[in-house]
Amino acid sequence: MVVQHETFIAKYKDLLERELAASIHKLNAPQALKGAMLYSLTAGGKRIRPILLFAAIDAFGKNPEIGLRAACALEMVHTYSLIHDDLPSMDDDDLRRGKPTNHKIFGEALAILAGDGLLTYSFQLISEDEHIDDQLKIWLMKMLSICAGPEGMVGGQVADIQAENQELHLRELEYIHQHKTGRLLTYSVMAGAKIAGATEEELDLFEKYSQHLGLAFQISDDILDVIGDEKIIGKPIGSDRDKKKSTYPSLLSLEGARDHLAFHIQGAKETLSKTNLKTDLLEYLTDVVAGRDR
């Protein structure tokens, strides 16, 4: 089963990466901008979000390829967020995934514009998707706006910046992570489910699943920071380290954070089992995302 899941992941990662590159190459835009967009898009991300989108479609027994454009759009939004997050005015990181950050190569102005280009192009890609009908396009664009915008990732990023050097309560920490990283994971599975024709009830279950998954992702990241394992999300040493931030282990102790992680992994899997769909791949990805397989 593991081999089968890894084959699925490798196949759709490859398909996605070829489509991402083709989407940039066909753009009628300045070469410098295309170069900066392509640099970060092809800099070696794990593609967790598109894989979740494909896996959600697969759970319904549909061909995951119908979600290819939506998956590219999603990865572009994620990539824009990383480019902007690394800027001197934000985290001021020199390295991402072991490579120089976008602004280190292309300069700050082009890095900002490469992020802007990826964000706006993502909506163009969905609007031009020939495999889905207009109603579904509107749903996808609206949901992406909600999950990535002020009510989602951007709002979470602002809350995170405001929380620097402050001692947070657990619910404040959860707000930050549910928005900053969680909402895009929610979009990943809900978009896949919607593309595959999910009912409202199934969409609700996928949303609940993604909320557990998003928190598990973050708690696992916080635990890895404490135990010094850098390999799972590829976060370069030095990233975010100079700022004093509340984390799950700092609020709950390492043991408490581990209990919390186990709670969310179990919650995610229990929610999946209520869908009555073929969710073994999503279960596997839950363990991958929450770091249980390493």
Instruction: Spell out the long-range contacts of 143-151 with Cβ–Cβ below 8 A and sequence spacing 24 or more.
Output: 143/187, 143/190, 143/191, 143/194, 144/73, 144/74, 144/77, 144/187, 144/191, 146/183, 147/183, 147/184, 147/186, 147/187, 148/77, 148/81, 148/119, 148/183, 148/184, 148/187, 151/179, 151/183
Instruction: Spell out the long-range contacts of 164-168 with Cβ–Cβ below 8 A and sequence spacing 24 or more.
Output: 164/243, 164/244, 164/245, 165/243, 165/244, 166/246, 167/246, 168/246, 168/251
Q: With binding defined as CB under 6 A, does residue 222 bind ligand GRG?
A: no
Q: With binding defined as CB under 6 A, does residue 210 bind ligand GRG?
A: no
Q: With binding defined as CB under 6 A, does residue 84 bind ligand GRG?
A: yes
Q: With binding defined as CB under 6 A, does residue 157 bind ligand GRG?
A: yes
Residue of 221, 248, 264, 291 that binds ligand GRG (CB under 6 A) = 221
Are 38 and 18 a contacting pair, CB within 8 Å? no
Q: What angle do CA 281, 97, 269 make, to 5 degrees?
A: 20
Residue of 27, 224, 233, 252 that binds ligand GRG (CB under 6 A) = 233
* Stretch of 1-9, 80-88, 98-106, 245-253 contacting ligand GRG, by CB under 6 A: 80-88
Residue of 23, 81, 211, 275 that binds ligand GRG (CB under 6 A) = 81
Please report how close the Cβ of residue 23 comes to ligand GRG at its closest, in angstroms: 17
Q: With binding defined as CB under 6 A, does residue 186 bind ligand GRG?
A: no
Task: To the nearest 10°, report the CA torsion of 38, 125, 48, 192.
Answer: -170
Q: With binding defined as CB under 6 A, does residue 247 bind ligand GRG?
A: no
* Stretch of 56-64, 132-140, 204-212, 227-235 contacting ligand GRG, by CB under 6 A: 227-235
Q: With binding defined as CB under 6 A, does residue 234 bind ligand GRG?
A: yes
Instruction: Measure the CA–CA gap between 239 and 224, rounded to whole angstroms.
Output: 13
Nearer to ligand GRG, 206 or 217 (CB): 217
Are 122 and 144 a contacting pair, CB within 8 Å? yes
Please report how close the Cβ of residue 180 comes to ligand GRG at its closest, in angstroms: 5
Q: With binding defined as CB under 6 A, does residue 13 bind ligand GRG?
A: no
Please report how close the Cβ of residue 52 comes to ligand GRG at its closest, in angstroms: 10
SS3 164: coil
Residue of 21, 27, 141, 154 that binds ligand GRG (CB under 6 A) = 154
Residues 19-78 that bind ligand GRG (CB under 6 A): 45-46, 48
Contact residues toward ligand GRG (CB under 6 A) are 45-46, 48, 81-82, 84-85, 97, 153-154, 157, 180-181, 221, 233-235
